[in-house]
Amino acid sequence: MGILDDVASAEDLLQSTYSDFSGNLRIATPMVLGLRYLSPILTEFAAAPPDLRLDIRASDDFVNPLDERFDLIIRAGRIPDGAVVAKPLVPNRHVICASPAYLATHGVPHHPSELNTHNGLFYSLGQHQRFWSLPVDGELHRFTILSRLSSDSGFQLLDAARAGLGLAILPTFLVADAIVARELVTVLPAHAPTDSMISVIFKPSKRGSNKINALVELLKVRLGNPALWNMAIDDFAREEHVQPQR
């Protein structure tokens, strides 16, 4: 059975499974991932069962996985230890990138130790504002970089990187289109942050929920393996005769 057959079988199973779902399902998603990729999948999930109601919050604010306001949380990044169930969906890859114009002016860094002469764009909810922690020879090291701009919005950081304000560490689900369009170029691929996961997390009391389990399966089918955005970057890299980043 081929990949398309697998997808068709999964879709048939999902359609027959969730057509009778009812009640509420309260979901928290990251802003960028939610708007760019999850929104059409959640809409599809809600469309078939007439008595199913979804309440979706898209925000990059931290959401406690034990928060009673939500039945499940889709999270990109570290999963907190403790009394939660985590269902991995796809790897959460990051790249270090900048615009061609920025690199033409400031040069291409070939080692993280050269970052101290560069401008950095920082995600204010998760990064220190003076340095980046990057892997070198299998160990994390801190490298100073000048903060040119910080924001809690991935879209703002993407715009700033495109505009040539500096280097940024951004998730591939945010920058794939810009890389393929040659608006951004990846640098230091051997020193990109280690992959984490995009996961669905929920309380153990929800483990037996058919609605949640069916949504997890639909997300896996629609996001793909590898994820759609990572396939786009890797296909572009092969066309450019550049080794894809892993």
DSSP secondary structure of 40-92: HHHHHHHHS-TEEEEEEEE-SS---TT-TT-SEEEEESPPPSSS-EEEEEEEE
Q: What is the pLDDT of residue 232?
A: 93
Mean pLDDT, rounded, of the chain? 87
| pLDDT surpassing 90 at residue 205 | no
215-228 tens-digit pLDDT: 999 999 999 989 99
Cα angle value 109/113/118 (rounded, 5°): 50
Q: How many CA atoms lie within 13 A of 244 on its CB side?
A: 17
CATH of the domain spanning 94-194: 3.40.190.10
Cβ(45)–Cβ(218) below 8 Å: yes
Instruction: Please name the CATH architecture into which domain 3-92+197-224 falls.
Output: 3-Layer(aba) Sandwich (3.40)
Max alpha carbon distance in the chain (Å)? 59
- Pick the range with the lowest mean pLDDT from 8-17, 44-53, 87-96, 106-115: 8-17
Q: What is the pLDDT of residue 4?
A: 47
Instruction: Name the percent of the chain lying above pLDDT 70.
Output: 87
Q: What is the pLDDT of residue 241?
A: 63
- Pick the range with the lowest mean pLDDT from 32-46, 120-134, 194-208: 120-134
Shared fold status for 3-92+197-224 and 94-194: yes
**Phi-psi group of 138: left, alpha or beta (phi > 0 → left; psi -120 to 50 → alpha; rest → beta):** left
Tokens of 127: 């990064």
Task: Tell me the domain boundaries of the chain.
Answer: 3-92+197-224, 94-194
- 3-state SS class at 165: coil
Q: How far apart are CA 199 and CA 76, in angstroms?
A: 6
121-131 tens-digit pLDDT: 999 876 566 88
- 3-state SS class at 33: helix
The CB-based long-range contact list for 104-113 (8 Å cut-off, 24+ gap) reads: 105/164, 108/187, 109/167, 109/187, 109/188, 110/188, 111/188, 111/191, 112/136, 112/141, 112/143, 112/188, 112/191, 113/143
Grade residue 1 by pLDDT with cuts at 50, 70 and 90. Answer: very low
